[in-house]
Amino acid sequence: MPNSTFTPFPILTTQRLTLRQLASTDEQEIFRLRSDSEINKYLNRQIANSIDDARNFINMVIANSNKKDSLYWAITFTDKNILIGTICLFGFSAENETCEIGYELLTNFQGQGIMREALEKVIDYAFNTIAVQKIEAFFHRDNQGSIKLLKKFQFRDSNLADKTNPDLLCYYLTNPIDNLK
């Protein structure tokens, strides 16, 4: 990400949540997220089999964050510094014009509007602080939880199926400020 303004790491807050940088102390919760079959049902990724896998993943995220390749937030309740989910901006284009978004929540915290609250803040940060013009989200066509969430924010279907995986849909949201130009 060609932007040096992300040091220090941007901590974001909402009514209930604090979004902070991932830390090595999050390994148990990262393991739960990345080993839970329900959470991983529609995600095309390597399942974590051990705490070591979670630890390696955290190290990779921290290394990418240092290279400014991505912004990966741990979602916590402000009054309890324990990771309950993650949200991430990654795949930034050369001038930060576009990026991708990804998110996940431990199952016992779903259905409480938590991701909606986190997503609203991260979209605002992407558009108003980084000045991204378009955010893209790729997800499995059967991932109703994700579709519902994205539609709440007026993400639109790009109608571009991934050539390598036709089950993967791409929704996008454009920066309303740029649309006024």
Ligand X SMILES: CC(C)(COP(=O)(O)OP(=O)(O)OC[C@H]1O[C@@H](n2cnc3c(N)ncnc32)[C@H](O)[C@@H]1OP(=O)(O)O)[C@@H](O)C(=O)NCCC(=O)NCCS
- The residues of the shown chain that bind ligand X, judged by CB under 6 A, are 39, 42-43, 102-105, 110-116, 137, 139, 143, 145-146, 148-149
Cα four-point dihedral sign 73, 77, 80, 84: negative
Task: Quickly count: other Cβ atoms within 10 Å of residue 52's Cβ.
Answer: 11
Nearer to ligand X, 141 or 148 (CB): 148
* CB 40 to ligand X: min, Å: 8
* CA gap 81, 111 in Å, rounded: 20
Q: Among all chains, which residue has been given the structure tokens 């790491």? A: 9
Q: Which residue is nearest to ligand X (CB)?
A: 113
Nearer to ligand X, 3 or 145 (CB): 145
* CB 143 to ligand X: min, Å: 5
* CB 154 to ligand X: min, Å: 14
Three-point CA angle 109, 102, 143, nearest 5°: 70
* CA gap 171, 157 in Å, rounded: 4
Nearer to ligand X, 130 or 135 (CB): 135
Amino acid at 163: K
Nearer to ligand X, 43 or 62 (CB): 43
Amino acid at 21: Q
* CB 23 to ligand X: min, Å: 20
